[in-house]
Amino acid sequence: MTDDAHGYQDSRTTRTRWSVFEPMGQEEVYDDVPEGDGNDSGVGGSGADDTPLDPLLVAVAGELRRPVELGPELDGRVMALVAAEPRPERDVSFAARPGAAGRLAARHGPTSAVARAWRWLSRPRLVQLSPLGGLAFASGLAALLLVALRSGTDTVQATSAPAAAASPVAAAAPVADSVQVIQFVLVAPDARTVALVGDFNDWQADATPMRAAASGRVWSVQVPLSAGRHRYAFVVDDERWVPDPSAPRAPGDDFGTPNSVVTVTERRS
Amino acid sequence: MPRVGKSLFRQHPTACDAPRAQGVNLSVELSDAVLVQQVLDGDTGAYALLVGRYRERYSRFAVHMLGAEEDAEEALQDTFVRAYRALGRCEDPERFGAWLYRILVNRCRTHGSRRGRRERTFVHDPVAIGNASEDHPAERGAWREEIEHALNRLDGRQREAFLLKHVEELNYDEMAELTGVGVSALKMRVKRACERLREMLREVEHV
């Protein structure tokens, strides 16, 4: 296998600081004590193990390099689990930002109390507010702005702040989003083509083709749908009409063909 | 008739995202960074492309590390799901493969230490192994079985180092980056692994 096949770039020119990244947070940490005699000096730096393998071990390595194919359902299982997960959040980490945090770290050291405090303060947090809470928060903000504007200068008043202060209710009112993007995923290992049909595309099999993953097992497409109930089905290989096995079945199937139902709710923000 | 498996649909929290999947030219191989970006933008289907891209490459390492396919599948599945959860923390999406490999190595260590390596039933026939010719399928199977048996008897850290060096063909700098282990210690592990494998397999050869 080549370095490129691993997704590696030449580590001699491009280094990734693995020590910064802690993928799982609580991975088991294996101690790196030298095994055996507890002392590997004299071996490590000598390049002793870069010597070519003897024919026996060449044969062993060659045999072990043969491809290994695990169960064909692995992709589907992974995608089913992933689909149940919340969308991954971007992490604007302390180490990745070159701004104030980086300067603090440079000045005080990455583990200093100041740097840790800034990291804690600047860590992204998810704050959920109910519509009522949002209204209260916006009202408080508007009041603060009004106080600030009254005591401030004319140039401050010329900004857009008065507009926000003038209509705090409008600014905080929940906005209904009637269109949602729905992702449809079908695991169909042997399919050549898969299309999504439904009342949103007039049941046209060529209107919404689904995209196959590299393995050809998982097919997906994203479709913006308006709020409400929608009937749909999958068309496999241009001929087989398949309802969604994980969705409710539509009552009173049209033309005797089974369909599924997805209900899109309005999102309020 | 095509087999049709489980289907899932998912409502995304963003309403303004156009259905990017339509009209995509599949002949163009999207980079890891683009796919990671799409996943972070809410396109879960793009993750299926990443899974497909790396599953086969990393299956081999997991199977050889854990010795049993079911354990390897579990470790791989665990790896992909954990990587998805932590995707926002992937510092260099262009090197998603290396980042994923790091997680896989950790998962294999964890699975290996949690369960111990499963006892496998080997048909250990030293005479047949000793006479085995790689040309015959049955004999090739016996030869492979013996190799896996020997691999199975290695210390886990030596096995990991041997596989990364001589099967996955990484250099020591890459191995150090991946495992968090120093180059000196890795060289020692590879050396010991080679000695042990040679010893065990020559015993078989001379029976």
For residue range A88-137, what is the model confidence (pLDDT) as tens digits? 887 654 344 444 444 444 444 444 565 556 555 545 444 445 556 556 65
Residues with Cβ within 8 Å of residue A133, at least 6 apart in sequence: none
User: Does the domain spanning B123-207 belong to CATH 1.10.10.10?
Assistant: yes
Amino acid identity for residue A51 in this structure: T
CATH number of B28-116: 1.10.1740.10
User: Cβ–Cβ of A215/B147 closer than 8 Å?
Assistant: no
CA distance B35 to A174: 33
Q: Tell me if A113 is assigned to some domain.
A: no
Q: DSSP state, B87? A: G
If asked whether residues A136 and A213 sit together in one domain, one would say: no
Which residues of chain B does A242 touch, with a Cβ-Cβ cutoff of 8 Å? 4
**A251 lies in some domain:** yes
Same domain, A162 and A183: no
Residues of chain A with pLDDT under 50: 1-48, 93-111, 122, 124-128, 151-175, 254
Looking at the complex, does the CB of residue A201 fall below 8 Å from at least one CB of chain B? Answer: no
Report the 3 state secondary structure along B143-203. Answer: HHHHHHHHHHHCCHHHHHHHHHHHHCCCCHHHHHHHHCCCHHHHHHHHHHHHHHHHHHHHH
Contact B84, A88 (CB under 8 A): yes
Considering only CA atoms, which of A84, A82, A111 is closest in space to residue A95?
Answer: A111
Residues of B in contact with A192 (CB under 8 A): 2
Which residues of chain B are within 8 Å of residue A20 when distances are taken between CB atoms?
91
Looking at residue A110, the DSSP 8-state letter turns out to be T
Q: Where are the domains of chain B?
A: 28-116, 123-207
Cα–Cα distance measured from residue B193 to residue B175, given in angstroms and rounded to the nearest whole number: 15
Question: pLDDT of A257-266, one tens digit each?
Answer: 778 888 887 7
**Is B81 in the A-facing interface, judged by CB distances under 8 Å?**
yes
Summarize pLDDT for B26-55 with one digit per residue, the tens.
334 688 998 999 899 888 888 988 998 898
Instruction: For chain A, say whether B8 makes contact (Cβ under 8 Å).
Output: yes
On whether both A141 and A167 belong to a single domain, the answer is yes
Asked whether residue B99 carries a pLDDT value surpassing 90, the answer given is yes
Specify if A94 maps to a domain: no
Q: Which two tokens stand for residue A153?
A: 């200068």
- Which position has the token pair 């030219």? B25
Do residue A163 and residue A235 come from a single domain? Answer: no
Query: Measured at the alpha carbon of residue A57, what is the angle toward residues B184 and A41, in degrees to the nearest 5?
Result: 15
Instruction: Report the number of distinct structural domains present in chain A.
Output: 2
Please provide the distance, in angstroms rounded to a whole number, between the alpha carbons at the two ends of chain B: 51
Q: No. of H helices and E strands in chain B?
A: 9, 1
**Residue numbers of the domain that contains A193:** 177-268
Within an 8 Å CB–CB cutoff, is residue A24 touching chain B? yes
One domain for residues A222 and A257: yes
Beta-strand pair A218-226/A228-236: unpaired
- Put simply, the answer to whether B169 touches A191 (Cβ < 8 Å) is no
| Nearest CA-CA distance, residue B117 and chain A, Å | 17
**pLDDT tens across B135-162, in order?**
555 666 788 888 988 998 999 999 999 9
What percentage of chain A carries pLDDT values higher than 70? Answer: 43
pLDDT at residue A147, as a whole number: 54
Residue in B10, B90, B94 to test binding to A, most A beta-carbons within 10 Å: B10
What token pair was written down for B122? 């080997």
What's residue B80's pLDDT?
A: 95
**Other residues' Cβ atoms within 10 Å of the Cβ of residue B31:** 12
Residue A116 lies in a domain: no
Contact A1, B162 (CB under 8 A): no
Cα–Cα nearest to B50, from B2, B7, B114, B93: B93
Pairing of strands A267-268, A176-177: antiparallel
Residue-wise burial string across A185-198, b where 16 or more C-beta atoms lie within 10 A, e elsewhere = bbbbbebebbbbbb
